[in-house]
Structure formats: structure tokens, C-alpha cells
A and B are shown apart, each in its own frame.
Chain A
Amino acid sequence: MDANVEQFPPYRKADTHDHGHDDHGHEHFDPGFWAKYIFSTDHKVIGIQYGVTALSFLMFGLMLMMMMRWQIAHPSQPVPLIGWLLEKIFGQPAAGGIISPDLYNSFGAMHGTIMVFLGIVPLAFAAFGNYVVPLMIGAPDMAFPRVNMASYQAYFLGGLVMVVSFFIPGGAAQAGWTSYSPLATSIPTHGQLFWILGMILLITSSLLGAVNFIATIIQLRAPGMTWMRMPFFVWAQFVTAFLLLLAFPPLEAAAVMQLMDNVAHTSFFLPTGLAISGKIANVAGGGSPLLWQHLFWFLGHPEVYVLILPAMGIVCEIIACNTRKPIWGYKSLVYAVLAIGFLSMIVWAHHMYMTGMGTVISTFFQATTMIISIPSVIILTCLFISLWGGSIRINTPMLFALAFLPMFGIGGLTGLPLGFNVSDVHLHDTYYVIAHFHYVVAPGTIFGLFAGVYYWYPKMTGRKMNEFWGSVHFWCSLLFMNLVFMPMFSQGMAGMLRRMADGGANYSAEVNSRAGGDVIGGLSPFIMSLHTPILWGVVCLGLAQIPFVINFFWSIGHGEKVNDNPWQATTLEWQTPTPPPHGNFDHPPEIHRGPYEYSVPGHSSDYTPQNEPEVSTPANPKIPTTAH
């Protein structure tokens, strides 16, 4: 043990000695500031880099949405407090502090892009995966540390390109996060070009990450860590990595083709007779807008599971630990997550019922969509049943994990009417869809991710985050999330379309009645008035994140100091020093048991770490006790 510690002593500043670096630079593992924090190849540092960057992007995406909700609730009125700033930054599109429809479209497209590709995937997959997976499987690092660093750098550059696109003339991409062609190609701004280039960088990043994760999980499991002894979180990351590996490239192909449409004037997605602004466009034609949608959703739907699976994995770990009993149906969970992985590749066209692709194809995708709900329900059921008869400890991670279950449940169940192509005809592209997928991703996935931040924070820093402010963060977030998204179900069922800069005011009953007798009906005053509580909800939701941000940074130096295993958990990441040194383990771990051996009868403690050797128990008396 000491030999290993000697090999990787804790980082030491060179200036503690008077003489220069040259004398002892080779003796210590002292990579210096840049190599340690910026160009690090250590999976833990890269995980934290990913985590902090992704959390910042999540906040940025939320702010965009706060401004959009103001515009929806109060069309053509200047944004309070920051209106002048918007005008200063964006100029004409935000003249007088009023968000113009063009700017609204930019914010909408970038909100989706940032939340999905720059916020949640990097946080759920790359940050937690990087930090936790090698520790959980007993590996010293990822299989390809330098590829890992390149992955973060590509992600960072991609994010930079996306952010820069706000400031170019014409502004950022405006065609929604889905970037449907020919719309995306017709809007006269280079924002779309930046979007494509940013996406290619992000796809490269996730490709490098996915290869690295799978190779690590296949190759670097410690002795004794068999497949069925892996914590469920590792399984979830494993399947997620495969989805990223195989589903993203077709979008990259589509992005290359859209790039060609933009710069080489091809017409992959531009049909014959395309008219832009009332004029026949000068394009070769013969292209297919449907082709873009197929390629986009071939990524787009597996992407949904990329968002949700890591969160499920996190919730599973936290529930097992805080119910102090083995997770119910570990094998069912594993097979269900594998089934989801396969099925998620053949459900994509349920986003395209309204394209006229044909009823036979719609029926096929409707069937697969219904089938994929089965493994999802299995996972949720296993997690619910795990609570049964547990001795539940309530702490901040557990609060978020518990809230994940019903919130994801609402999101999942409201998806069924969208999966049936008949009911989708009415609900397609309405606020119902917005409410549905936000329930899956916002109070679903993001709650899972918050749970993970609170849960693994002590491992990263040696201190717990403050429990009181944690629960303030939780209860406020839960309340306001529901205040924001629940009314959208009603709005959507009443027929309010998404992506409208005026929040549907032009389709309201009030405007219609003024227009004369030719338009009947419209969105009722009540449905329109729901915009106001949603606006207040989103503002409060933003404010509710302040305790989290302060808690996050304050606890680094002032949180309650804890030992290496503050939650008394069984998995390997808690059996290392805190924070884990370069190389992770003091001595190579050996794994002797499954991941969730809580409250095993006959054991002295109510948890048995995975690396604890077999000892003599009343049920197993013949094995001699080994000193350890």
C-alpha cells in the first residue's frame, strides 16, 4: 500500500522549496496548474470539468427560457430588468429591450440545443460517467486518458462555437433544435452554419467519449468484477455509450449534408419547386425534407434515452443505498436497460406521424413505441418496489431520487397519447408535447442529476453539501417545476401550438372575435391566462437554483467534513481515499460480491462493500476468517 502512495504522492506545489523546478521536477507527480486542471488526462478532473461546464450551460439555457417566457406572457413588451442589456448585446433584434420574433426563434433553438447537447448529455453521461464509472469498476483511469481529454476539449470548443453564434450578424440558428430543412437552410443567417459546425464538434466529442467508456467497461473491470456484479449505474452508462456511438453518426451524416446544402449549394433536403419568401429558389431540387427528419430522429430518439438512462442509474444507486436493502430485481433492471438500448433504435419515426410518410410505417413505429414502454415500466417498477420494506433514510440525494420516480412517471405516461398516431394528430407540435418531454427531462433527468451531485459531492471534495439548503433547493424546485409544466398539458390539449413568439395570442378567441365572423373559436382567455403562472413559476425556479449554486461552491471549503464513505455505501467508489488520488486505489481492488449487499443477515454492519473478502458467517461457517 505504501509503495503505491509513494508512487503517486499528493500534488505538491513546487514553490514550497526554495530552489527551482529542475532539481526535483522528475521525482514528484506534480504536473503543474495547466496540466492538472486544464489539460488533465485524469478521469476525475475531466469529470469535474464536464460537470462544471455543463451546469453552467444548464443555467444559461434556463435564463434563455426565462426571457422567452416573458415574451410569451407579455408579447412585444420590453423585458424587465435586463431589457437594456439585451439591446446592448443583440442590437436591432432586441430594440427597446423587446425580444423580436427572430430573436425569440434563436433563443428557442439554442435553448433546446444547449439543454440537450451542452447541458444534460455532458452532465449525465460525460461528467458522472467520467468521475464515477472507473471508480465503480475498480479501474485506475479510463482506457484512453488522452482521448478523454480530447473529448472534453471538443465539447468545450463546440460549446464555444454555439455561444459565439449569438453574436454574429443575423444571430444564432433559428430553426429549432431539430433544425428541419428546408427551413434551416432558408433562413438568411450564418447561425445555422455555426450550429452545424458546433454539432460536428459535439458529435466528435461524444463519439470519443462513447468509445472510451465502452472500452473501459469491457477492458478495465477489476478482478472479480463480473458483468452481473456491476452496479446498475455502470450498466446504464454502458448502454448510453452504445446509443451515442451508433445513433449520433447518422446525424453527423445529416449535418454534413446540410452543410453541403449551405455552402456547396447542393439540394439534399431542398425539394424541387422550393419557394423562399414567395420566390422560386435557385436550387437544383430533387431533395427530400423527409430525409433530414429520418436522419435527425434516428439520433433524436435514442438521444432521449441517452438523457434518461444515466439518471435512472444514479437514482438506482441512491435508492439502494438509502433504503439499506438490495435493489429489487437487479437482473430485470439490467435486461430492461439492454432492451431499451435495442428498441430505442427503432422507434424514431413516431416523431414524424404528421409528415405523410404513410400509415403502414406509422403503424410499425407505433407498435415499437408501445413495446419500448415495457422495459421503461420495468425499471420504474423495480425502483418503486425497492422502497417497499426499506428503512428509508431521507437526505437531499434521496429526496431528489424519490421525486424522480413520480415525475418521470408523469412524463412517461403522458407520452403514450403521443405514441399513438391517431391521438398524436391532435397533440402534435402543441404545448402538450413540451410538457411531456420536459417532465421526462426536467423534473425527471435533472432531478436525477441533482441527486447525483449531492450524492457524489462528498467523494469529490471530502465534504457534504449543506442539507438544509439542499432541501430548500429540492422543495422549491419540485413545486415550481410542476407549476411551470403542469399547465402546459391543458394549453396543449386546448390546441396551443409550440414555437410561437406571441404565445398563441394571434389564435386566441379574443383576437378571433375581433377579426369578424369568419373565424370561430380559438384559445380561451383561461388557457391564455395560464402563461402568467408559468412565467412566475419559471422565475421562481430560476431563483430556487441560487441556494444550489451557493451551496455548491460554499461547501467546497465549509461543508461538513466526512469520511471516505459517508453514506455507508457498498460500491467501490466509496472504498477509496477521498478525493481519490491519481490512480484511484491504494491497492488494486478485488471484487467478491454483488453491488447491493445491504442488510445481509449475519453481517456485523448493514452494508458489505464489494471488495470485502468472504468471511465466516453462520450461514457459511466453513470459510476461514481472513484478517484484513
Chain B
Amino acid sequence: MEIPYTVEARPDTGLYNAKVGIWLFLASEVMLFGGLFSAFVLLRVGAEPGTWPHGWQNVTLGTINTVVLALSAITTLMAWVACKVREFGKFKFFHACTLLLALTFLCVKMVEYHEHLNHYEIKLKDGQIADGDMVENNKDADHVVIKGRYVKSEMELYDLRAQKDIPESEITIPRAQIDDMQSYGPWHNNYLALYFTLTGLHALHILGGSIVIGYLWGPGRKLWKKDPERFTNRVEVSGLFWHFVDLVWIFLFPVLYLT
């Protein structure tokens, strides 16, 4: 006996097996990201007043990535439609676009990560804090150079929304004066920890989705000749996953960038 409903829909549910499977998987994914978002809520609510960062993200890059993912959602849909109307050439075009857009997203994400990891908060022994992008951090040299500013207290660094046109200049700091130096990585505070964990997990999903779509676009396309209906189903199922990943970003963007 063959396994039924691998390609055609079961009459009483109206779904083929893989479609049931992917929706269940997505339900589980909702709970995964739900767990992380609820961690965000709990830590955000529990933070000391005035210590939750605002305006730490590059909204321009975030907006670009939002548009990139929105476009990729359209191309994913179009790729499936192309399969439905049996135009394989269009499928190849649209999913090539999807892959390029996914790659763009990941590159922009890496630029953003680099911006954070290259940004340092340097506590000096005289109580001042220097904050800015690292320009020169040679281990052998007796000084570091950053492009940024001095502040009196850490509290001035949290809410950057109110601070327009922060003056930046190249500052040379002798290592002997440094009490503690830390980049804006996930270890810096809970906001950045959540930022890196949430967007990192999301980026892994983008990567996973790209691999699946890349497989269908590349070696997986052999199935098109044998069983176009089944191939179309695969495109649909991977598309559903892709739309879910896009949707997660639609939540991440306002929560992490716009508040």
C-alpha cells in the first residue's frame, strides 16, 4: 500500500499531508518565538526605570531589510503561481529573486551586527565613559582610538531617540586609563542579548529557508519533469515557511527597532 494523500488533497480535510505537516510545524515555531517574545516582555517590564535602550538600531537598514523581505514574500508567491500555471521559466526567475533578496537580507544583517560589535563603551578610571565606534584597537599599542564622545553617566547612553546629531570626534584613550571596555555584543545588556538572540534565530531561519528554496531551485527541480503537481506542492510548503519567517520579522522590526 502506498501512503495516500502525498500529492492530492484528502477530500474531508482538503489538504495534502505535507501541508498539514507544515502548518503544525509553524504552530510549533509560533510557540518558539512566542517563548522568546515573552522573555522580551518579562525582561523589559522588569528592567530598572530608564535603563532600557531606545533608538539603538539603524532604522534605515532595518527598513531596507523589511522592504527586502516583503519583496521576497511577493516573489515567493509568484514562484508558486508560476508553478501552478506550469510556467517553469517564471518559477526559476522569481525564486532566483527570492534567493538574491534573502542573501541581501543576510548581508545587511551582518553589517548591522558588525556595527554593534564594533561599538564600544569604555569606562575610564576617572569615572568618565567614552562611547563610540572602534577605529584603532591594536593589542600591542598602548592606546585605543574611537570615534565617539564622552559622557558623564551611563544613563545618558540609554535613550538615543531624544539625542539628535550626537557630536562625534576621534578620541585617543591610553590603555592605562581604561577601567573596563566592552563592545555592544549580546553580553552588554539584556536588550542586546534579546536583539542578538531573536534576530540571530530569525537569521538562521532565513538561512534554512534559503537552503530549501535553493535546493528546489537547483538540484530539486528534477522533480518538475516527473511530477509537476508534487513539485508545486513543495514550492507551496516551502513558501508557507518563508512567509512565516517574513511575518516574524514584521514583529521583530517594530519591537526592536522602533521602540
Give chain A's interface residues, CB within 8 Å of chain B. 4, 139-141, 143-145, 147, 207, 210-212, 214-215, 218-220, 245-254, 256-257, 260, 264-268, 284, 286-288, 290-291, 294-295, 298, 583-585, 588
Contact = CB atoms under 8 A, between A and B. Distances in A.
Contacts of B166: none
Interface in B93-135: none
Interface in B14-29: 15-18, 20-21, 24-25, 27-29
A284 B197 contact: no
Given A207-B28, A264-B185, A284-B188, A140 B35 contact: no
Nearest to B192: A266
Given A219-B5, A219-B13, A246-B27, A268 B20 contact: no
Nearest to B24: A211
Nearest to B21: A215
B36 A286 contact: no
Given A215-B24, A220-B5, A257-B39, 7 more contacts: A140-B4, A219-B13, A253-B33, A253-B36, A257-B36, A284-B190, A288-B42
Nearest to A134: B3
B3 A249 contact: no
A254 B17 CA distance: 31
Nearest to A287: B190
B201 interface: yes
Interface residues of B, number: 42
Contact of A260 (B2, B42, B48, B197): B197
Nearest to A241: B24
Nearest to A142: B3
A141 B2 CA distance: 8
B46 A288 contact: yes
Contacts of A252: 32, 35
B3 A286 contact: no
Q: A144, A210, A249 — which one has the most chain B CB atoms within 10 A of its CB?
A: A249
A284 to B, nearest CB: 5
Contacts of B4: 140, 219-220
Interface in B161-218: 185-190, 193, 196-197, 201
B35 A253 contact: yes
B35 A584 contact: no
Nearest to B2: A140
A252 B34 CA distance: 11
Contacts of B21: 143-144, 147, 211-212, 215
Given A214-B24, A218-B13, A253 B39 contact: yes
A422 B253 CA distance: 44
Contacts of A251: 35
B1 interface: yes
Nearest to A284: B189
A488 to B, nearest CB: 33
A268 B193 contact: yes
Nearest to A581: B1
20 contacts: A4-B1, A144-B17, A144-B18, A207-B28, A214-B20, A245-B24, A248-B28, A249-B32, A249-B34, A254-B39, A257-B39, A260-B186, A260-B196, A268-B43, A268-B193, A268-B197, A286-B43, A287-B43, A291-B43, A583-B1
A252 B15 CA distance: 29
Given A140-B3, A250-B34, A265-B187, A295 B39 contact: yes
B11 to A, nearest CB: 10
Interface in B21-65: 21, 24-25, 27-29, 31-36, 38-39, 42-43, 46-48, 51
A626 to B, nearest CB: 23
A295 B13 CA distance: 34
A265 B98 CA distance: 35
B10 interface: yes
A292 to B, nearest CB: 9
Contacts of B15: 219
B7 to A, nearest CB: 12
B32 A268 contact: no
Contact of B24 (A210, A248, A260, A290): A210
Contacts of A219: 4-5, 10, 13, 15-17, 20
Contacts of B5: 219-220
A493 B20 CA distance: 49
